[in-house]
Amino acid sequence: MADSGNQALLLLGRQRALQEETEEHQFGFGAERYFYAFIVALVLFTMGAVFSLYEGVQRIRQPEQVSSPAIAFAVLFIAIALESFSLRTAVRESNQSRGTASWRSFIRRAKAPELPAVLLEDVAALTGLIFALTGVALATATGNGRWDGAGSIAIGVLLGCVAAVLAVEMKSLLIGESASADSERKIVAAIMGGPEVDRVIHLRTLHVGPETLLVAAKIAVAGSDSAASIAAGIDAAERRIRAAVPIAKHIFLEPDLYQPARVDTADPAVRAARRSWRGGRTWPAIGTRRRGQQR
């Protein structure tokens, strides 16, 4: 029930995220996917972990013989086969977006919540089935029903840990995560990719949904530029950003005059420029150029 219900919740979140923007929700409903993935973590904990722990304690306090071992083993083997197929599918789909990142990094950095949720749930379910199989086998072999209860307790602890990890990751997405370091580098490079911008003073990004990124940046322009040329430069920079990072759908660029004393070395724009810099010059030279000079 918990497993199938969680998949239904994830599908519901994806469907609700497709709603058009409204006056009350002007950045859309992309965060619905994060919300329902967080609900999945709660369901996994309550219906999975707590119920398994309760059943395990009850079976240890009041042990019972396994009345039909053949049926129990058949159900468990069928479930293991089905969960293995589900896990293989989730791994194959995840590999398409994981790249060279480790599985831990992929789960922590993924902005789409469905794949990490399904991966964690399938791994937990398959491991839990092995615990259950071991418990039933020991209970059948020894005639001691407490082994069945021990298997249920092990499943409950496992599901509780997975639910906690999933809840922490979904909470981080719910309260707002920035773009990846690679995306920030691409955004800075796109802004600096034309002669209109002298420097990116600071940059802020926010995922308002898995496929929707908000970009806010303050860019340095020449004091002698006219309002028309600044506006044209901002439009050109926005087009470059969208070409480099297609999910950047909400872009706000604010023109300003550069003042070295106001540089924030912890700003994502500064970090992104430093990461992409491989020359021997000092930081103040990075990201600036004379008017009309190509990078």
Dump the DSSP string for 117-177.
HHHHHHHHHHHHHHHHHHHHHHHHHH--THHHHHHHHHHHHHHHHHHHHHHHHHHHHHH--
Dihedral sign from CA coordinates of 190, 173, 211, 29: negative
Taking only the tens place, the pLDDT of each residue in 268-293 is 666 665 555 444 333 343 344 444 44
Helix (H/G/I), strand (E/B), else coil: 242: helix
Bridge pairing between strands 212-220 and 199-209: antiparallel
177 vs 167: CA distance, rounded Å: 15
Q: Tell me, what DSSP letter sits at residue 113?
A: S
Query: According to the model, what pLDDT value does residue 278 have?
Result: 42
Query: According to the model, what pLDDT value does residue 272 have?
Result: 64
Asked whether the whole model's pTM tops 0.85, one would answer no
Q: Yes or no: say if 212 and 274 are a contact pair by the CB < 8 Å rule.
A: no
Average pLDDT over residues 223-239: 88
CATH number of 2-175: 1.20.1510.10
User: Which H or E run contains 63?
Assistant: none
Average pLDDT over residues 107-130: 87
219 vs 234: CA distance, rounded Å: 9
Domain definitions of the chain by residue range: 2-175, 181-285
46 vs 163: CA distance, rounded Å: 9
Taking only the tens place, the pLDDT of each residue in 80-117 is 999 999 899 989 988 888 878 888 888 888 888 888 88
Which CATH architecture group holds 181-285? Answer: 2-Layer Sandwich (3.30)
First-to-last alpha carbon distance for the chain, in angstroms, is 58
Report the percentage of the chain scoring pLDDT > 90: 26
